[in-house]
Chains A and B, each alone.
Chain A
């Protein structure tokens, strides 16, 4: 079956750096997405990786290793507003999105 694994919850300190990992087993691979979802709101797009390596976008970076079925989202200079759930999603060979359950990130002052 298809599976996306990411930690349920993480805690970090304001101003610090946090890395949220995602591992996947899917039938085929056509890209990996990270979305941010604040409580009670819809997800918003953060990043997209289809080739191995690091994609940097401001304070957020996303890394992909297709051979390892692994990605991480790196958040730098954490702010209180970064408290949210972070969803990892993989697009499989049928171009269907397979979603992880999300990682709830708690930022403490």
Chain B
């Protein structure tokens, strides 16, 4: 199946700093990528849909100025958590669909990035 790579897998930062997470589709081109956040023992929460060459679409309640998304190429989307605070500590996961996989539209997920803000 298609491979999505996410980096870094773990990051610890001080409150007030910014953290950038990268998501790459390694063997396919992804015009659209999805960013999720998952708190312990909870479901995946879609934060935003990242569109190559245009602005991301944010879900209700997600601050676009705090969670900056850039999708500059067909294989790379980045999520920057600006001025991070302890409540931003979570598991951030990106995903994408491979157009070649057919009609199922299954998502391929990156490894996830665990952010801990001290």
Contacts and interface: CB of A to CB of B under 8 A. Distances in A.
Contact of A43 (B44, B105, B114): B44
Interface string A18-47: 000000000000010100000011111100
A45 B111 contact: no
A31 B114 contact: no
Q: How large is the interface on B (under 10, 10 to 19, 20 to 34, 35 or more residues)?
A: 20 to 34
Contacts, number: 44
Contact of B107 (A40, A45, A104): A45
B111 A87 contact: no
B107 A99 contact: no
Contact of B114 (A33, A40, A48, A102): A40
A87 B104 contact: no
Contacts of B105: 31, 91, 95
A5 B40 CA distance: 18
B43 interface: yes
B46 A43 contact: no
Contact of A102 (B43, B46, B93): B43
A75 interface: no
B111 A42 contact: yes
Contact of A45 (B42, B43, B108, B114): B108
A12 interface: no
A106 B107 CA distance: 25
B35 interface: no
A101 interface: yes
Contacts of B43: 87, 99-102
A40 B114 CA distance: 8
Nearest to A85: B41
B44 A33 contact: no
